[in-house]
C-alpha cells in the first residue's frame, strides 16, 4: 500500500470512522446519524423527542410517521438555531433515510444535517472543454459571502440534493444558477458514477454521497454566475487542476468535496496515471 500525502488526504476525507469518537443516532430501528456527546446532551432537553443514553440517541417511537418525526425534529432544530448552536440556516430541507432511494424517515433543515451526522446527497458536474487543441477544465471560486467554505475553489457545478429532487434535476438547476449553463446544454452531460465523503468536522462528521457528471462545453462557452454565489471562474489544464488538488495535502484552496470530485475526474479521464503507487487505494477510498 502507498502512503502518499495525497492518499492520506483522500482517506481522511472519505474514510473517517465516526464510531471512533461519536455516538449513534437511531430512528425507526435504523442507524441514520452520528452525534457528538456534547450535542447529545443538548438534545436531552427534549425528552419527548429523543431518548439520550451514554451509548446513543434514539428518536421517539411515538412519532409514528415521517411528517410527525419531521415536525418534532424541526421544532428542536429551530430552537437550537435560535440559541446559536446551529448556524447557516438555509430554509431548505433534505431527506434522511437508509439510502437515497429508500422511503425517507424524516426531512430536516439542511443546516442541521452535519450536527446529526446524517448522510446527505449532492450532485456535481465537471465542465471541460478544448482550447487550441488542448483539454481544459472549468473551475469556480465560491463567493466570500457563502456560509460554508467561502472563497474556496469549487467544481463548475455542485449542489446539495434537496427534498423531492433527483441528482439530474439538481445538476440542471445548479448548472444554470452557478454557471449560466442552460438546461438544454446541461442535458448533454453524462452521469459518471458516485463518490463518498466521510470526514471529521467541528460539528461531528460530514457524510455525503456525491453523484458526479461530466459536461463538454464548446470553446466559445463562458460561464456566467446567476445567483451571486460564485466570485469568478478559471479554465485550467488537467495538470494545473491536479496540482491544486495535490496542494490539499498542505491546506490548499479547494473545498474538500470539490477536490475529491476533481481527482475522480482526472483519474477517469486518464490524467492520473495508473502507474502511480497510490492509484488503486485512491479509487478504493472514494468508492461508496
Dist CA 53 CA 42 (whole Å): 12
Whether the predicted pLDDT of 35 surpasses 90? yes
DSSP state, 224?
Answer: -
Question: Would you state the pLDDT for residue 195?
Answer: 98
The residues, any chain, with a CB within 8 Å of residue 73's CB and separated by 6 or more, are 49, 59, 106, 108
* pLDDT tens digits, one per residue of 125-175: 999 999 999 999 999 999 999 888 899 999 999 999 999 999 999 999 999
Share of the chain above pLDDT 70, in %: 99
Q: Which H or E element spans position 175? A: helix 167-179
pTM: 0.95
Model confidence at 1: pLDDT above 80: no
Q: What is the pLDDT of residue 2?
A: 55
Average pLDDT for 82-111: 95
| pLDDT (average), residues 176-190 | 96
Angle at the Cα of 160 from the Cα atoms of 158 and 164, rounded to 5 degrees:
130
Taking residues 210-234, what's their average pLDDT?
96
Q: What is the pLDDT of residue 146?
A: 87
Q: What is the mean pLDDT of residues 211-233?
A: 95
What pLDDT does residue 10 have?
97
- How large is the average pLDDT for residues 216-221? 96
Grid coordinates 450535542 are at which residue? 39
How is domain 23-116 classified at the CATH fold level?
A: Transcription Regulator spoIIAA (3.30.750)
Domain with CATH 3.90.79.10 in the chain: 5-14+120-286
**25-49 mean pLDDT:** 97
The mean per-residue pLDDT over the stretch 204-209 comes to 97
Q: CATH 3.30.750.160 in the chain: give the residue spans.
A: 23-116
Q: Is the CATH number 3.90.79.10 carried by domain 5-14+120-286?
A: yes
DSSP at 98: S
At 3, is the pLDDT very low, low, confident or very high (cuts 50, 70, 90)?
confident
Q: State mean pLDDT over 232-253.
A: 95
174 contacts: CB under 8 Å, gap ≥ 6? 123, 125, 157, 158, 159
d(CA 287, CA 173): 25
Which residues neighbour 102 within 8 Å (Cβ) at sequence distance 6 or greater?
A: none
Pairing of strands 50-53, 93-96: unpaired
Amino acid at each position: 500500500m502507498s502512503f502518499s500525502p495525497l492518499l492520506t488526504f483522500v482517506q481522511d476525507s472519505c474514510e473517517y470512522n465516526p464510531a471512533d469518537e461519536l455516538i449513534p443516532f437511531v430512528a425507526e430501528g435504523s442507524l441514520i446519524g452520528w452525534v457528538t456527546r456534547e450535542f447529545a446532551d443538548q438534545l436531552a432537553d427534549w425528552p419527548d423527542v429523543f431518548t439520550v443514553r451514554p451509548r446513543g440517541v434514539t428518536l421517539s417511537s411515538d412519532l409514528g410517521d415521517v411528517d410527525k418525526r419531521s415536525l418534532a425534529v424541526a421544532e428542536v432544530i429551530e430552537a437550537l438555531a435560535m440559541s446559536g448552536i446551529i448556524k447557516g440556516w438555509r430554509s431548505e430541507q433534505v431527506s434522511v433515510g437508509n439510502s437515497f432511494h429508500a422511503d425517507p424517515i424524516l426531512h430536516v433543515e439542511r443546516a442541521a444535517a452535519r450536527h446529526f451526522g446524517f448522510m446527505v446527497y449532492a450532485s456535481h458536474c465537471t465542465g471541460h472543454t478544448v482550447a487550441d487543441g488542448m483539454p481544459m477544465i472549468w473551475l469556480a471560486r465560491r463567493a466570500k459571502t457563502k456560509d460554508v467554505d467561502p472563497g474556496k475553489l469549487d467544481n463548475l457545478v455542485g449542489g446539495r440534493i434537496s427534498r423531492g429532487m433527483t441528482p439530474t434535476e439538481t445538476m440542471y438547476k445548479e448548472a444554470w444558477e452557478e454557471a449560466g449553463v442552460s438546461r438544454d446544454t446541461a442535458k448533454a452531460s453524462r452521469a459518471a458514477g458516485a463518490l463518498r465523503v466521510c470526514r471529521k468536522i467541528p460539528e461531528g462528521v460530514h457524510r455525503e454521497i456525491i453523484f458526479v457528471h461530466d459536461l463538454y462545453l464548446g470553446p466559445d462557452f463562458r460561464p456566467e454566475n446567476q445567483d451571486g454565489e460564485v466570485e469568478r471562474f478559471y479554465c485550467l489544464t488537467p495538470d494545473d487542476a491536479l496540482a491544486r488538488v495535490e496542494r490539499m495535502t498542505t491546506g490548499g484552496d479547494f473545498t474538500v468535496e470539490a477536490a475529491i470530485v476533481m481527482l475522480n475526474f482526472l483519474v477517469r479521464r486518464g490524467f492520473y496515471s495508473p502507474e502511480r503507487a497510490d492509484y488503486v487505494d485512491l479509487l478504493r477510498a472514494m468508492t461508496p
